[in-house]
Structure 1
Amino acid sequence: MSARTVINGRYELEALPVAKGGMGEVWFGHDTRLDRQVALKFVRFPEGTPDEELTRRFVRESRIAARLEHPGVPAVYDAGVHDGRPYLVMQRINGISMSDLIAEQGPLPVGWAAAIAAQTCAVLSVAHAASLVHRDLKPGNLMLERDGSVKVLDFGLAMAVDLTDFSKITSTGQVIGTPAYMAPEQILAGLSGPSSDLYALGCTLHEMLCGQPVFAGSTSYTLMNKQVDERPVAVRTLRPEVPPQIDELVLALLEKKPEDRPGGADEVFLRLLPFAVDLRPLPGILNPPAAPSPARMYATVLGRVFATTPPTAPTPPATERPAAPAGGDLAEVRAEAGRLMEQSRYNQAADVLAGAVARAGDAGDDALRLRQEYADALFQSGDYHGAAPVYRQLVDDLTARHGPDTAAVLTCRLRDATCQALLGNTTQALRQLQDLLEDERAVFGADDARVLDLRRQIGLLQLGAGQRQTAERTLTSLLDDLRRLHSADHPAVASTADLLTGLRLPGRR
């Protein structure tokens, strides 16, 4: 792009991009219509040519990210396509990234490291409650503003994985994440959940406290091997004055198995909070103490709400959706929802269907189909917390009406389990998928494509859970059957073989 390029007749870009990565590039610009500074993030296509699937995912993810409202997340203003490349228009953040701050000043004071990590937890809490996982949390994506507040960048390209992505996530060849901050399950299986973000936070907190990454290596391959196999050095070994509780927390965040890490961002926040003290000015980084800070003024008052009660982990609000206007034929409502789904406006489609579900009741095939469409809209909108119980109830009601072996029952069971996997409940998801596998074999036959794909998903989840020997057995058996059914160059054969090759590389136990 040349100097003074104008996007959509409105956004005037600066001469050069400010950042480039494997999946996108960021430009600063000016919104000429509203006369304000903005940042634009463009998708970068891996092959240099437009990719319909990547564009579809980008549109979906940008709409999910735009619903993420929190002071610690840059606002999403607009989205569009320019020269075949999708882009997001976001709030421009003026501050310093943690990577630059560490490069300038070395290890941070313990209080500031705890405060920055705690603010990040507040953002992760609201994101994870909305079923949104960042997947590339790192010092470069944490921006410290001059009033001391932290912004978590790059949620605009965070992946809210859908059902198709879940089963094909490792077949695209795209690595999502930065090796120095990637959890083992991301490296081994390409799967992420809330606990993967906590692992990345542990890497980031370690780096803020020690001034160096948890693991170092000259290649991405070396770093990935260390993330999977090597135990981290304790923070107090490198910096003895760090409190033992912080040292223990970092090691807990860096556990190799997701279920061994802390239970969630809320828990980590509460463990960090006592150490977010003595936040003295950072020379050249923060405004002087005498400078007014509307953000701190606002936060000071909020801090006094229920101030006599010890702090507890916040409880995410229950998912509530406004009912659709009363009246109107159900067929018209479903047609309207279908039109919205075709436009990837899944959240709006779910809102439309919510009212229709309430009016239709629970009985009858039409009501059951309507509820399944509602669950699908919730799922596609990224609301896995909301979709899972709807699918679960559908399984019970469909089974009572039509028996346990219908395609609709099996589909709802798969999607409920997928919700659990995407929410990070790997053990529960595996149990549900393994039960489903036996029933699908009985209904469809062992060589059915649905059964084979389910076996692959189970192998991926086993990898993500750190069950590497079990996963190897699952995937080896699957590869034998795929080779019996398909030619050597079949995509399923090649991708499964690649997974096993990665497991068996030297240095992998």
Structure 2
Amino acid sequence: MAAHTVISGRYELEALPVARGGMGEVWFGHDTRLDRPVAVKFVRFPEGTPDEQLTRRFVRESRIAARLEHPGVPAVYDAGVHDGRPYLVMQRISGVSVSDLIAEQGRLPVGWAAAIAAQACAVLSVAHAASLVHRDLKPGNLMLEPDGGVKVLDFGLALAIDLTDFSKITNTGQVIGTPAYMAPEQILAGLSGPASDVYALGCTLHEMLCGQPVFAGSTTYTLMNKQVDEAPTPVRALRPEVPAEVDELVLAMLEKKPEDRPAGAGEVFARLVPFAVDLTPLPGILHPPSAPSPARMYATVLGRVFATTPPSAEEPPVADRPPATAPADLAEVRAEADRLIGQSRYNQAADLLAGAVDRAGHAGDEGLRQEYADALFESGDYHRAAPAYRQLVDDLTAQHGAAAPPVLDSRLREATCQALLGHTTEALRRLEALLEDERAVFGDDDSRVLDLRRQIGLLQLGAGQRAAAERTLSGVLDDLRRLHSAGHPAVTGTAELLAGLRRPG
């Protein structure tokens, strides 16, 4: 971009970007209307040309990110599109990234490593409760501010991946994440959930304590292979003075299978907090304790609230949103919801439809409840979408039978919600049961059945079931080759996925 580029008539960008990554770039700028500094983050398209699907996902997830209200998340001010590229305007943060802190200081004091990671856990707990997974957590995305607070950056660029996106990712080679911090299920199947963020934070905590990445390699592929197959070196083998409990926690966070890791960010937080002590000043990084700090003043008082209650390992509950004030006439409600959905305002549409569903009760028509569940899904609120689809499945089954296409579609959406929430085992159980019924209804060679089998194989990969995944995907490839030409996208995509799975390290 040219120097002093102005976007949306108000955001004046500096001459050069301050950071570039695989999925985006960051520019500092100034909001000329409100006279304040901002950071503007642009999506970078993998193919170099605008991607409509990627833009749609970005818009959806940026709206979720904007709803995150937490001191550890930069505020989202605005969003738009400039020269075909989506962007977010965000609060500009002052401080030092944890990657720069490690480069300057080397191994961090145990107390500071625990304090930084615990603050990240507090943010992840809120994000995961809102069905938002970071997908690229790393030292470079953690900013230590001069008052000692930690900001988790780049939630707005953590683009959502759902089961329908897998074929595109595996075909184009698009990687969402940074290999040195990617969980095995991200590398193998492109599948990210809360447990993937726990793994990435484990890599980051290990690096803060040891002064070097948990895995290193001369190529991206070598590094990814180590993430999938190689056991991490215990922290105490590199730094014996680290408490055994911290070492055990890091190793638990770095378990290869998602279900073997701590249950969530809340549990990691509870295990870290006792070690966030002896937080001595970091010269040149933090303001001295004598310097006035409104943030510290605020935190001091807040820390005394419920001070006798031990930190909880439970994830915060997802708050039920009150139904939005809505027109009484159902036709008006649905028309307004359609208008909101047309503008990608899925969260507002879901809240509007929620009131209508509540008023109608079980007597309400299935189309209304389908629209409600779909709006929740598109808004990224998988916590509420999953039970909405489950109720829909039960009611539709009673009316139309288990083999009706609307029942099968809702079952697929519910299982997808479970997968996106990180409940891989439960998602697999539901998809495998669905597969039996779809085969009976559509036949083995139907595209829906083949696609479902492929999704099961990808989830098996994400769950660490590599042998089962290879069997599943090999069977899918054999059937695809029987039905299609060698150059068919489904054939080449599945073949490339299997080739990567079988490639020796």
Q: Quote how far apart the aligned CAs of 1:315 are.
A: 4.7
Can you give the 5+ residue segments of structure 2 that lack an aligned partner in the other structure? none
Q: Work out the CA distance in 1 between the residues paired with 2:90 and 2:141.
A: 14
Residue type of the alignment partner of 1:412: S
Mark the CA change 1:360 to 1:33 in structure 2 (over 3 Å): closer, same or farther: same
Mark the CA change 1:168 to 1:368 in structure 2 (over 3 Å): closer, same or farther: farther
1:417-438, Cα deviation, whole Å (9 max, x unpaired): 1111010111111001000000
The residue aligned with 1:476 is: 474
The residue aligned with 2:247 is: 247
Whether 1:153 aligns to 2:153 is: yes
Q: Work out the CA distance in 1 between the residues paired with 2:247 and 2:273.
A: 14
Q: Work out the CA distance in 1 between the residues paired with 2:166 and 2:6.
A: 37
Residue type of the alignment partner of 1:443: V
Can you give the 5+ residue segments of structure 1 that lack an aligned partner in the other structure? none
Match of 1:427 among 425, 428, 445: 425
Q: Work out the CA distance in 2 between the residues paired with 1:140 and 1:169.
A: 24
2:353/2:372 contact within 8 Å kept: yes
The residue aligned with 1:288 is: 288
1:263-301, Cα deviation, whole Å (9 max, x unpaired): 000000000000000001001000011012211211222
TM-score (norm: length of structure 1):
0.97
Q: Work out the CA distance in 2 between the residues paired with 1:108 and 1:419.
A: 38
Q: Work out the CA distance in 1 between the residues paired with 2:245 and 2:197.
A: 20
Q: Work out the CA distance in 2 between the residues paired with 1:175 and 1:57.
A: 15
Percent identity between the two aligned chains: 83
2:171/2:496 contact within 8 Å kept: no
1:80-122, Cα deviation, whole Å (9 max, x unpaired): 1111111110000010001101001100000000000000000
Q: Work out the CA distance in 2 between the residues paired with 1:377 and 1:54.
A: 19
The residue aligned with 2:316 is: 316
Q: Work out the CA distance in 2 between the residues paired with 1:322 and 1:310.
A: 30
The residue aligned with 1:439 is: 437
Matches within 5 A, 1:179-258: 179-258=179-258
Mark the CA change 1:166 to 1:375 in structure 2 (over 3 Å): closer, same or farther: farther
Mark the CA change 1:278 to 1:225 in structure 2 (over 3 Å): closer, same or farther: same
Which moves more between the two structures, 399-408 or 315-324? 315-324
Q: Work out the CA distance in 2 between the residues paired with 1:318 and 1:393.
A: 19
Matches within 5 A, 1:105-504: 105-162=105-162, 164-165=164-165, 168-325=168-325, 327-363=327-363, 367-504=365-502
1:163-192, Cα deviation, whole Å (9 max, x unpaired): 533665434421000010000111111101
Q: Work out the CA distance in 2 between the residues paired with 1:324 and 1:63.
A: 18
The residue aligned with 1:60 is: 60
- Partner SS state of residue 170, structure 1: helix
1:146/1:287 contact within 8 Å kept: yes
1:167/1:457 contact within 8 Å kept: no
TM-score (norm: length of structure 2):
0.98
Q: Work out the CA distance in 1 between the residues paired with 2:162 and 2:209.
A: 36
Residue type of the alignment partner of 2:389: Y
Mark the CA change 1:104 to 1:326 in structure 2 (over 3 Å): closer, same or farther: closer
Residue type of the alignment partner of 1:83: D
Aligned pair count reads 505
Residue type of the alignment partner of 1:445: G
1:456/1:475 contact within 8 Å kept: yes
1:132/1:159 contact within 8 Å kept: no
2:44/2:85 contact within 8 Å kept: yes
Q: Work out the CA distance in 1 between the residues paired with 2:442 and 2:168.
A: 21
1:138/1:204 contact within 8 Å kept: yes
Residue type of the alignment partner of 2:397: T
2:327/2:333 contact within 8 Å kept: no
Q: Quote how far apart the aligned CAs of 1:15 are.
A: 1.0
1:167/1:456 contact within 8 Å kept: no
Matches within 5 A, 1:13-92: 13-92=13-92
1:213-271, Cα deviation, whole Å (9 max, x unpaired): 00111110110010011111110010010000000001001111111100000000000
Mark the CA change 1:187 to 1:199 in structure 2 (over 3 Å): closer, same or farther: same
2:2/2:15 contact within 8 Å kept: yes
Q: Quote how far apart the aligned CAs of 1:456 are.
A: 0.6
- Partner SS state of residue 245, structure 2: helix
Q: Work out the CA distance in 1 between the residues paired with 2:169 and 2:442.
A: 24
Q: Quote how far apart the aligned CAs of 1:325 are.
A: 2.9
- Partner SS state of residue 361, structure 1: helix
Q: Work out the CA distance in 2 between the residues paired with 1:461 and 1:256.
A: 14
1:234/1:251 contact within 8 Å kept: yes
Q: Work out the CA distance in 1 between the residues paired with 2:405 and 2:258.
A: 32
Which moves more between the two structures, 175-184 or 331-340? 331-340
Q: Work out the CA distance in 2 between the residues paired with 1:22 and 1:326.
A: 42
Residue type of the alignment partner of 1:330: L
Q: Work out the CA distance in 2 between the residues paired with 1:499 and 1:166.
A: 10
Residue type of the alignment partner of 1:148: G
Q: Work out the CA distance in 2 between the residues paired with 1:363 and 1:163.
A: 32
1:180/1:224 contact within 8 Å kept: yes
- Partner SS state of residue 161, structure 2: coil
Q: Quote how far apart the aligned CAs of 1:382 are.
A: 0.6
Q: Work out the CA distance in 1 between the residues paired with 2:354 and 2:156.
A: 27
Q: Quote how far apart the aligned CAs of 1:319 are.
A: 3.7
Residue type of the alignment partner of 1:108: L
1:162/1:380 contact within 8 Å kept: no
- Partner SS state of residue 42, structure 1: strand
RMSD value, Cα: 1.3
1:162/1:382 contact within 8 Å kept: no
Residue type of the alignment partner of 1:23: M
